[in-house]
């Protein structure tokens, strides 16, 4: 991978401590200029799924994963299957977002430094996705506890 490509990924990710991980991951999706789907494990993607993709601005992937999660509830062991698949394939959706953005920037800008600057402005992450995940998980825990208490109260009567 060229130094320019590494700088573009760093500008997209905007977390210098994570750049090497994403450079290694993205290199698995592109072999000699040919894109392919590959398994790249991410514990973050496994654990928080849709919120990971929202955080990384991979909105199409987040929508697909959300819909897959809804369908998984009607399939025996579907939820476990979706968790495993989201851990292994979510990073690919981040790569697709990066690749599409990179292609768009490169088609409009000739100067490498200007491309990197533009990637930095358009890439990055959404802090609101973290807060959304925290709030929704707290609400889910409250709902679970209320449900448990309602069952316990019904059993006592």
Q: Are residues 120 and 153 in the same domain?
A: no
Q: Are residues 111 and 146 in the same domain?
A: no
Domain boundaries, position 90: 3-125
Q: Are residues 90 and 150 in the same domain?
A: no
Q: Are residues 119 and 149 in the same domain?
A: no
3-state secondary structure of 1: coil
From residue 107, alpha-carbon distances to 19, 59, 104, 110, 117 in Å are: 24, 22, 5, 8, 15
Position 156 scores a pLDDT of: 83
What pLDDT, in 10s, does the model give residues 79-89? Answer: 999 999 999 99
Q: pTM of the entire structure? A: 0.87
Indicate the average pLDDT of the chain. 94
What gap in Å lies between CA 2 and CA 5, rounded to an integer? 5
Question: pLDDT > 70: what percent of the chain?
Answer: 100
Q: Are residues 119 and 132 in the same domain?
A: no
Q: Are residues 69 and 135 in the same domain?
A: no
Q: Are residues 84 and 132 in the same domain?
A: no
Number of folded domains in the chain?
A: 2
What pLDDT, in 10s, does the model give residues 89-98? Answer: 999 999 999 9
Mean pLDDT of 96-112: 96
What gap in Å lies between CA 66 and CA 109, rounded to an integer? 35
Q: Are residues 71 and 136 in the same domain?
A: no
3-state secondary structure of 96: helix
- Cα of 71 vs its chain's centroid, Å: 19
Q: Are residues 24 and 66 in the same domain?
A: yes
What pLDDT, in 10s, does the model give residues 59-73? Answer: 999 999 999 999 998
Residue 157: pLDDT over 80? no
């Amino acid at each position: 991978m060229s130094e320019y490509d590494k700088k573009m990924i760093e500008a997209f990710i905007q977390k210098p401590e994570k750049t090497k991980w994403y450079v290694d991951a993205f290199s698995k999706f592109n072999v000699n200029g040919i894109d392919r789907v590959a398994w790249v494990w991410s514990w973050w993607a496994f654990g928080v799924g849709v919120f990971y993709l929202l955080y990384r601005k991979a909105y199409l992937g987040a929508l697909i994963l959300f819909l897959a999660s809804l369908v998984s509830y009607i399939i025996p062991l579907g939820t476990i299957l979706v968790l495993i698949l989201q851990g292994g394939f979510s990073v690919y959706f981040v790569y697709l977002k990066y690749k599409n953005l990179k292609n768009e920037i490169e088609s409009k800008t000739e100067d490498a430094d200007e491309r990197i600057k533009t990637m930095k402005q358009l890439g990055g992450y959404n802090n609101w996705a973290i807060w959304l995940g925290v709030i929704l998980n707290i609400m889910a825990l409250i709902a679970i506890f209320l449900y448990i208490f309602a069952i316990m109260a019904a059993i006592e009567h």
